[in-house]
A and B are shown apart, each in its own frame.
Chain A
Amino acid sequence: MEEKLVPVVCPYCGVGCRLYIKTVDGHPQGIEYADDIPGISNEKGKLCPKGNAVLEYLLAKDRLKKPLKATEQGKFVEISWSEAIKEVTERLRAYSKDDPNAMMFFGSAKTFNEPNYLIQKLARMLGTNNVDHCARLCHSSTVTGLKAVFGAGAMTNTYKDIEEANVIFIIGHNYAETHPVGFRYVIKAKERGAKVIVADPRFTRTAWFADIFLQHYPGTDIALLNGMMHVIIKENLYDSDFVRRRCVGFDDLVKAVEKFTPEYVEKITGVPAELIVQAARTFATAGKGVITWAMGLTQHTHGHDNVRLAATLSAICGYQGREGCGAAPMRGQNNVQGACDVGVLPNVFPGYQAVTDPERRKFFEEFWGVELSGEIGLTIIEAAHAIDKGKVKAYYVMGENPVISDANANHVIKALQKLEFMVVQDIVPTPTMEFADIVLPAAAMLENEGSITNTERRVQWSFQGAKPPGEARPDWWILSEVGKAIGFTGDGARGFNYAGPEDVLREINACTPQYRGITPERLKANLAGIHWPCPSEDHPGTRFLYKDRFLTPDGKAHLAAVDYRGPAELPDEEYPFLLTTHRYVGQYHTATMTMRSEALKKRWSEPLAEIHPEDAARLGIKTGDWIKVETRRGVYPIRAKVTRAVKKGVIAVPWHWGANVLTNDALDPVSKIPETKACACRVAKISEEEARKLMEAVPKVIPKFEVVEG
């Protein structure tokens, strides 16, 4: 009997907490807190409820153990790995011969950097840039917005800087619930005397800790941010020296925010004018400030502009390139940052090198030894629309669940039904799998090893803490087998011959400038990880970005001047309420993992729609009543919770259980993110019987499959 403590990274959110898995002969027996590793993102080994329940979903009874082939929709027969790989490669090869752009590849923020690198390499070597992942649905606005202002789409600072800040402005981000361990640093800063400003359409648990709470209507962020900058500029509270030396576009900004007086902003946002003034003064005069945001800012048709304005606010106050300062987008999944970094985006190669740049393309053509497409590929939502038009015919989905996660889910389901061929690679049955032709069983993150990049750009190595069930295999192994079977058998980077994830990471080191010095050997020796950019093997990594210059071509921050735009769909007579979505601390995204975890499932068992007491009284709704929320795209039955946490006229619904049948798939013109955070809806009280009937049309988080054993 051999007892071991295996250091792993928590497979849930973007904080990237370290913990140990206690194993006996390779079998997990329990977890232990990593309180003895200095410098990790979860100081003293702290974990949230999901982190504490991390082993439960690994033991789920319905884990996929063998490759499956569909006989008809939702009915599968078990096949062998060699049959499965053969089937997949034959189909992919045929499409790449006819029209490579008929294929769409989904990477995953829920797996390591290595398989993500491999899936985009596979797509691109097959001749298409149609490769994307769920960052599209969460932080694509951050990537494009921050790139436009500062030159790189990543958090500019670390948790340490949040702890050292004097003011923390949290906008569209329920920090305490979405990243509980990260919120530790906000509380530590507050204890030290820092001020906390929270802007959110809901009175969240984060708002409990606010010194100033701004409750604006969903989708009015542009007005709020412009209003704050109006005050800061009018009262001369901005850092004029920083603006002069390091920013361009200030005059345009002054003109753009001219009309956003606190009184005008109050009319749009519903936030009292004096609070806007107070928040602006508090933020600008603190000396060291951090602005953090998440989905509340990004998931809008103006998400790109929202992020640019947040970055602009931070820049004009001079809160960049110093300790205790910065702009901090909080990533939702533990490897969204990494999946973006290694090029699982339709417009860039690894390291954010544009596919349209002939020089960069030439480098990769030589590196991978094939001709590459210079045409920007499709994003997730665009792909679903391209299926309708018959342009996309095949999907390769690795660890994604578009049926629950994509906006306007009913449309996604219709589109998936039209696909000719779909491969889904995942650890458990998902509602997306119902439409699959081939299912490939993958090992969970804790069951294999690789590198992960957390929200702070911290790259860490996670070791193997459990054995995969049945014939489930690591993602990198599956993709390398597919690549080899297709015929990419060249040496080194020109083929898919890998002995392990270490080989893949060395290849990433060779072609990604930010990761150049982040070798597997260094990561394994240093459990606290390395912050990219790390240009060489003797470089210690970079805590905060932009010390001397920004990464834009001229080295300056390009301030954004934006006029007000509201949500794409506003309430009207037919749909009088404004719908927004949120999440629970104990549930995670499409709930595939958390709903298989008993400790979490019993505490956060069902969604509750939040409605203001006055609206509820008018409609005769009491807490616990069944209601139906209806939009132009779908109906969702849910029980109500009458609360003052939301404003009058606003309905808030948690999205883990399939509420995306309601949301709007109108896209931001730049980041292509769908507007899942604001749309018009109507509400009516219904009977439990009717609710059960309506429930049948909503996609099930845990689907029932028929599998014939092979």
Chain B
Amino acid sequence: MARKTIFIDFSKCIECRACEVACEREHNGRALINVFEWEEMAAMALNCRHCENAPCVEICPTKALYRDEDGAVLLSPQKCIGCLMCGIVCPFGVPQLDALDRIMMKCDLCAHRRAEGKLPACAETCPTDALLFGDFNEIQRMRRKAFTEKAIEKAKKAERIPFMGL
């Protein structure tokens, strides 16, 4: 099964936080993606990784966390009891407690937008394509292709080393 997810290209993030603002608009004022700065030298956006072997799904005692057909890990609000276990086991610290509804909240890869055939808002808006939405293996293939093309281009331009003393 092709699993669609958000690929983050750290080298392109300009810390404009458009993804945060877009996410917040789509999710009732709560940004489920965050941008972090590293020593004023670089930035990176981080959202739920929708892990293959998601510890949050494994541990959820009420089966509130489940996987949809695109492979996104979603939360069923009716089942969630706010036990925080998913947040505790998540290595990225993604699930947060919604103080108002007293249940967990996390990135749903914009389920409502995907249902209409649109991209998640963060990937759609990202001005520099630091966030890409798609099948992970396909994205990797494209990156390999781009890298090879660039390497070939470079090799073409490089000066030939003259044969010496032959």
Q: Given the complex of chains A and B, what is the CA–CA distance between A51 and B14 in angstroms?
A: 16
Report B30 CB to chain A, min CB distance, Å.
Answer: 11
Contact status B17-A49, CB under 8 Å: yes
Interface range on chain A (Cβ under 8 Å from partner) = 35 or more
Q: Which of B22, B40, B43 contacts A47 (CB 8 A)?
A: B22
B166 close to A (CB within 8 Å): no
Contact status B12-A187, CB under 8 Å: yes
B124 close to A (CB within 8 Å): yes
Residues from chain B with Cβ under 8 Å of A644 in the complex: 40
Report A618 CB to chain B, min CB distance, Å.
Answer: 21
Contact status A180-B18, CB under 8 Å: yes
Contact status A193-B150, CB under 8 Å: yes
Contact status A180-B124, CB under 8 Å: no
Contact status B25-A47, CB under 8 Å: no
B70 close to A (CB within 8 Å): no
Contact status B125-A33, CB under 8 Å: yes
Within 8 A of A (CB), among B15-36: 15-18, 20-22, 24-25, 29
Contact status A47-B128, CB under 8 Å: no
Q: Given the complex of chains A and B, what is the CA–CA distance between A544 and B164 in angstroms?
A: 48
Contact status A193-B153, CB under 8 Å: yes
Residues from chain A with Cβ under 8 Å of B22 in the complex: 47, 52
A176 close to B (CB within 8 Å): yes
A498 close to B (CB within 8 Å): no
Residues from chain B with Cβ under 8 Å of A180 in the complex: 14, 16, 18, 127-128
Contact with A along B112-154 (1 / 0, CB 8 A): 0000000000001111110000000000000000100010011
- Per the CB 8 Å criterion, the residue count for chain B at the interface is 26
Contact with B along A188-200 (1 / 0, CB 8 A): 0001010000000
Within 8 A of B (CB), among A176-191: 176-177, 180-181, 183-184, 187, 191
| A33 in contact with B124 given A208-B41, A208-B42 (CB within 8 Å) | yes
Q: Which of B16, B24, B41 contacts A585 (CB 8 A)?
A: B16
| A46 in contact with B126 given A177-B16, A183-B14 (CB within 8 Å) | yes
| A47 in contact with B127 given A53-B25, A193-B150 (CB within 8 Å) | yes
Contact status A184-B127, CB under 8 Å: yes
Q: Given the complex of chains A and B, what is the CA–CA distance between A579 and B21 in angstroms?
A: 32
Contact status B153-A176, CB under 8 Å: no
A270 close to B (CB within 8 Å): no
Contact status B17-A603, CB under 8 Å: yes
Residues from chain A with Cβ under 8 Å of B24 in the complex: 599
Report B35 CB to chain A, min CB distance, Å.
Answer: 9
Q: Given the complex of chains A and B, what is the CA–CA distance between A79 and B121 in angstroms?
A: 44
Report B54 CB to chain A, min CB distance, Å.
Answer: 29
Nearest neighbor of B130 in chain A, beta-carbon distance: A187
Residues from chain B with Cβ under 8 Å of A184 in the complex: 127-129
Residues from chain B with Cβ under 8 Å of A205 in the complex: 14-15, 43
Contact status B25-A585, CB under 8 Å: no
| A645 in contact with B40 given A49-B18, A205-B14 (CB within 8 Å) | yes
Residues from chain A with Cβ under 8 Å of B153 in the complex: 193
Q: Given the complex of chains A and B, what is the CA–CA distance between A444 and B18 in angstroms?
A: 22
Report A536 CB to chain B, min CB distance, Å.
Answer: 35
Q: Given the complex of chains A and B, what is the CA–CA distance between A469 and B60 in angstroms?
A: 48
Report B16 CB to chain A, min CB distance, Å.
Answer: 4
Q: Which of B16, B25, B146 contacts A176 (CB 8 A)?
A: B16
A586 close to B (CB within 8 Å): yes
Contact status A48-B40, CB under 8 Å: no
A575 close to B (CB within 8 Å): no
Contact status B40-A643, CB under 8 Å: yes
Contact status B25-A181, CB under 8 Å: no
Residues from chain B with Cβ under 8 Å of A645 in the complex: 40
Contact status B18-A52, CB under 8 Å: yes
Contact status B124-A45, CB under 8 Å: yes
Nearest neighbor of B35 in chain A, beta-carbon distance: A603
Nearest neighbor of A641 in chain B, beta-carbon distance: B40
Nearest neighbor of B150 in chain A, beta-carbon distance: A193
Q: Given the complex of chains A and B, what is the CA–CA distance between A235 and B164 in angstroms?
A: 29
Q: Given the complex of chains A and B, what is the CA–CA distance between A33 and B42 in angstroms?
A: 27
Q: Given the complex of chains A and B, what is the CA–CA distance between A209 and B13 in angstroms?
A: 10
Contact with B along A621-657 (1 / 0, CB 8 A): 0000000000000000000000111000000000000
Q: Given the complex of chains A and B, what is the CA–CA distance between A366 and B41 in angstroms?
A: 60
Please give the residue numbers on chain B whose beta carbons come within 8 Å of chain A beta carbons, in ascending order: 12, 14-18, 20-22, 24-25, 29, 40-43, 124-129, 146, 150, 153-154
Nearest first, the 10 A-B pairs at minimum CB distance are A176-B14, A180-B16, A49-B21, A52-B21, A180-B127, A181-B127, A49-B18, A52-B22, A46-B127, A599-B21
| Further 15 A-B residue pairs, CB within 8 A, beyond A33-B125, A46-B126, A193-B153 | A46-B124, A46-B125, A48-B125, A49-B17, A52-B25, A180-B18, A180-B127, A183-B128, A184-B127, A187-B129, A193-B154, A208-B42, A585-B16, A586-B21, A598-B29
What are 20 A-B contacts with C-beta separation under 8 Å?
A30-B25, A33-B124, A35-B124, A47-B22, A47-B125, A48-B127, A51-B18, A52-B22, A176-B16, A180-B127, A181-B127, A183-B14, A183-B127, A183-B128, A184-B128, A585-B15, A586-B16, A586-B21, A600-B21, A603-B21
